[in-house]
Amino acid sequence: MIPISVFIAGGWLTLTVLAAVFAPLVAMDPYAGGPDALLPPLSPAHWLGTDDLGRDIFAETLFGTRVSLTVGVTTAIAGAVIGVAVGAAAGWLGGVADAALMRLTELFQTLPRFVLALVTIALFGPGLAKVIVVIGILAWPQTARVVRASVATLRSAPFVEAARVGGMPGIALVLSEILPNVAAPVIVLAALDVATAILLEAGLGFFGLGDPNLVSWGAMLNEAQQYLRTAWWMAVFPGIAIAATVLAFNRLGDALNAATDPRGRGR
Amino acid sequence: MRAAALGWFVLRRLLHAVPLLFCVVVLNYALIASTPGDPVTVLVGDFPAPAEYKTQVRHDYGLDQPIPVQVARYVTRVLHGDLGYSFANRQPVLSLIAGRLAATLELTATALGFSSLLGIALGVLSARRPDGVLDRAVRGLATAGYALPEFWVGQMLILVFAIWLGWLPSQGAHAIRGVAPGWAGIADGVRHLILPALALSLRYLALIARITRGAMLEVLGADFILAARARGASERAVLIGHALRNAAAPVITVIGFNLGFILAGSALIETVFGWPGIGRLLFDSIGSRDYPTMMGILLVVSATVVAANLATDILHRMLDPRVG
């Protein structure tokens, strides 16, 4: 039986995807300021209020889904691809290659992700593509470890041996015989990585290092900081959006984990 | 025999940590060298520094030499504790960071201590009755703790407790008029510490409670627990003396391995609360393009993480000799 919270999480994520796609049809221009600055919520024309430049908070929050989902999903995919490649290579090759790749994984796992991302983007200049590259490059170590462990065990499994004896070359063996067996944990980790990436991106935005030309939830919270005393709504709504989206991805990841792991253990 | 084995373990972990640290420093330089534009800008910061000064820096770091020489010079300097000079603050980066260390330690140590104590307590109590009221509450807290951006939690705490209720201050580590002498000053410091420490704690509280609960549940099913109960040991003795002692290793590991995250979280929290620590310094240095300070903070944080992981490994080994 699927718990109700999974349906709620799925429902919320569907809503955010719809919001990201159809934002221009539903909301007004999030970049257009107006004369009505700092209007409280439930104002006739702006039902979540306006910010210090008279921009509509509802529109900004809706458009903010675009940056969060783009960064979250692309970096999780990048992390999964790199992680599977590194993990499979290490687990399959073994020996020196394994040791070297695992040292590299350990190095990346040790690096303080958030501070490193901050400094890198401060050095190279802000921009959506750079945010994606930096978070993506830092997102793979855990996947690599999990994949390596599975590949190393499966390498000598009877069905793999059978395929090997049948004359299947190494790469095909890994791709068609071994990797399908590690798909489940990789997908679970990817779902959880989306959540982590959204939080990281929000932190970067809060530090003023998001894309200056795009509305993002983190950047909204950065602006809200100066207006906490006068305009609470500037901080409340984007924060709820981040929390709900991260919660939904975490819930989905946990549910997938529970569904695919027969022992029913968390990670 | 056991001491010797432990000695070997420590030596092995050290041989592991030192190259890791070396890689971190080299990576730092790779970051500097691959920045678009003149690397001297990164080493000086984006300021109208005098030309002679830039020439001096260029020479000191061997920027006119081949890359391996540059790396060697950078690594040597860092290992000698020279993290460069912050032109913006007219101070060596290392002393700049050292000056902010106390504030960051105060905040992170409070948060870590609070979340460890409460997290372990909540984990133990919720493992006692799985699916009880407390257990459900703790699981809810854990879910929320993972999902809420800590800096936003900070903003919400300011909104509620500083602005609406007016109970606690929202900015800085002490009152603007200065540190009062004696108890008044301490009380003032504590009042300023509560909200940022709480905001920083939530995530670790969630994590530690969850891990403790899981480890306790695993241990509580073991035969020796049944044996202790059969001998008539009190519930308290079973939970704390037998179960928690054996569940301690994973809990301590998680606390240690998350030290890096608490430092990163501290950067955000210090920014929200105007806390005069390293995180706030990082925020300011990004704003003023003071690159040497940024790079210095990255190095110090990375080195702290490596050291914390090493210490955690050793502690874990001491608690659980089966670890190889």
Long-range Cβ pairs for the range A23-28 (8 Å, 24+) = A23/A59, A23/A62, A23/A63, A23/A65, A23/A66, A26/A62, A27/A56, A27/A58, A27/A59, A27/A62, A27/A63, A28/A56, A28/A59
Report the residue of chain B nearest A251, measured CA to CA.
B143
- Whether B324 is in a domain gets the answer no
How far is CA B154 from each of CA B59, B200, B202, B265, rounded to the nearest angstrom?
45, 8, 10, 11
Q: What angle do CA A104, A108, A109 make, to 5 degrees?
A: 115
Nearest alpha-carbon partner for B196 in B224, B174, B214, B212: B174
A120/B31 Cβ within 8 A: yes
Compare all CA atoms of chain A with the CA of B267 and give the residue at the minimum distance: A115
Q: Choose from A111, A196, A222, A263 for mutation: most chain B CBs within 10 A.
A: A111
d(CA A16, CA A8): 12
- What is the domain range of residue B191? 2-319
In a domain, A192, yes or no: yes
At residue A263, does pLDDT exceed 70?
no
Mean model confidence pLDDT for chain A:
89
CATH code assigned at B96: 1.10.3720.10
Q: Which of B152, B168, B283, B298 to mutate to test the interface with A (most CBs of A within 10 A)?
A: B152
* Domain CATH code at residue A180: 1.10.3720.10
Contacts of A224 in chain B (CB under 8 A): 155
User: CB–CB of A220/A234 below 8 Å?
Assistant: yes
Work out the minimum CA distance from A35 to partner chain B, whole angstroms. 26
Helix B245-257, helix B182-220: angle, nearest 10: 120
Among B309, B274, B11, smallest CA distance to B151 is for B274
- Rounded distance, CA A135 to CA B172, Å? 31
Q: Which of A6, A50, A70, A76 is nearest to A255 (CA)?
A: A6
Contacts of residue B271 in chain A, CB cutoff 8 Å?
A: 206-207
Mean pLDDT of A55-76: 93
Q: How far is CA B52 from the centre of its chain?
A: 39
| Interchain CB distance below 8 Å, B302 and A110 | yes
Residue range(s) defining the domain that contains residue A184? 15-22+54-260
Map residue A50 onto helix, strand or coil.
Answer: strand
Tell me, what's the pLDDT at B92? 92
Token look-up 């040791």 returns A99
Q: State how beta strands B91-92 and B85-86 pair.
A: antiparallel
**SS3 assignment, position B98:** helix
What pLDDT, on a 0 to 100 scale, did the predictor assign at position A105? 93
Flag whether B212 is in a domain. Answer: yes
Count of domains forming chain A: 1
Chain B residues close to A235, C-beta within 8 Å: 152, 155-156, 159
Please indicate whether residue A97 or residue B43 has the higher confidence score (pLDDT): A97
Nearest chain A residue to B31 by CA distance is A120
Query: Residue A265 above 70 pLDDT?
Result: no
Nearest residue on chain B to A117, alpha-carbon basis? B298
Distance from the Cα of A70 to chain B's closest Cα (Å) equals 18
* Closest Cβ–Cβ partner in A103, A195, A221 for B152: A221
Q: How confident is the prediction for chain B on average, in pLDDT? A: 87
- Per-residue pLDDT for A267 more than 60? no
Q: Which of A265, A243, A264, A253 is nearest to A80 (CA)?
A: A253
Contacts of A6 (CB under 8 A, 6+ apart): A251, A252, A255
pTM of the model: 0.90
What's the structural domain count of chain B? 1
Residue A43 within a domain: no
Range B40-48 average pLDDT: 81
* Pairwise CB contact (< 8 Å): A242 & B309: no
Record: contact A235-B214, CB cut-off 8 A: no
Chain B, residues 292-321, CB within 8 A of chain A, namely 294-295, 297-298, 301-302, 305-306, 309
Q: How far is A124 from chain B (nearest CA, A)?
A: 6
Nearest residue of A to residue B143, measured between CA atoms? A247
Q: Do B155 and A239 touch (CB under 8 A)?
A: yes
Is residue B224 included in any domain, yes or no?
A: yes
User: Contact B143/A247, CB-based, under 8 Å?
Assistant: yes
Assess whether pLDDT exceeds 90 at residue B132.
no
Minimal Cα distance from A202: which residue of B?
B149
* Chain A partners within 8 Å of B287 (Cβ): 208
User: Phi-psi category of A54—alpha, beta or left, where left has phi over 0 and alpha has psi -120 to 50?
Assistant: left
Residue A1 lies in a domain: no
Contact B158 A106 (CB under 8 A): no
Cβ <8 Å between A225 and B147 = no
Mention every residue, 6+ apart, whose C-beta is less than 8 A from residue A71: A128, A131, A132, A135, A197, A198, A201
Chain A hits for B35, CB-CB cut-off 8 Å, are 123-124
Sequence-ordered list of residues with C-beta below 8 angstroms from that of B123, at least 6 positions apart, any chain:
B138, B208, B209, B210, B211, B212, B213, B215, B216, B251
A227 assigned to some structural domain? yes
Is residue A49 helix, strand or coil? coil
Which pLDDT score is estimated for B282? 93
**DSSP single-letter state for residue A47:** T
* Mean local confidence (pLDDT), B267-275: 93
Confidence check: pLDDT of B324 > 70:
no
| CA–CA distance, A6 with A19 (Å, rounded to integer) | 20
Cβ pair A251:B27 closer than 8 A: no
Written as six digits, the tokens of A214 are 């795009």
Mean pLDDT confidence for B81-99: 88
Choose between A25 and B194: higher pLDDT.
B194
- Is residue A262 very low, low, confident or very high in pLDDT (cuts 50, 70, 90)? low
A32 sits in which H/E element? none
Chain A residues with CB under 8 Å of B42 CB are 123
User: What share of chain B in percent tops pLDDT 90?
Assistant: 31
Average pLDDT estimate for A105-114? 89
Distance from C-alpha of B157 to C-alpha of A231, rounded to nearest angstrom = 15
- In order, the DSSP letters of B110-132 are HHHHHHHHHHHHHHHHHHHSTTS
CA–CA dist A155, A246 (Å, integer): 36
Q: Which of B146, B158, B203, B304 should one mutate to test binding to chain A, selecting the residue with the greatest count of A CBs within 10 A? A: B146
The average pLDDT across A231-250 equals 94
pLDDT in tens, A134-145: 999 999 999 999
Half-sphere exposure of B26 (CA within 13 A, CB side): 11
Chain A residues contacting B via beta carbons under 8 Å:
103, 106-107, 110-116, 118-120, 122-125, 195, 199, 202-203, 206-209, 221, 224-225, 228-229, 232, 235-236, 239, 242-244, 246-247, 250-251, 266
Considering the domain boundaries, does residue A9 fall inside one?
no
Residue A137 domain flag = yes
Residue A5 lies in a domain: no
**The token pair that represents B294 in the structure block:** 């940024």
In a domain, A110, yes or no: yes
Kindly give, in sequence order, each residue whose CB lies less than 8 Å from that of residue A136, ignoring residues fewer than 6 positions away: A74, A75, A78, A79, A82
pLDDT at A223 over 80: yes
Judged by CB atoms closer than 8 Å, whether chains meet at A207 and B35 is answered as no
Query: Does residue B272 contact residue B158 with C-beta atoms inside 8 Å?
Result: yes
pLDDT at A157: 85
**Cβ distance of A110 and B20 shorter than 8 Å:** yes
- B122 pLDDT band, cuts 50/70/90, is very high
Establish, for the pair of chains A and B, how many residue pairs have beta carbons separated by less than 8 Å: 131
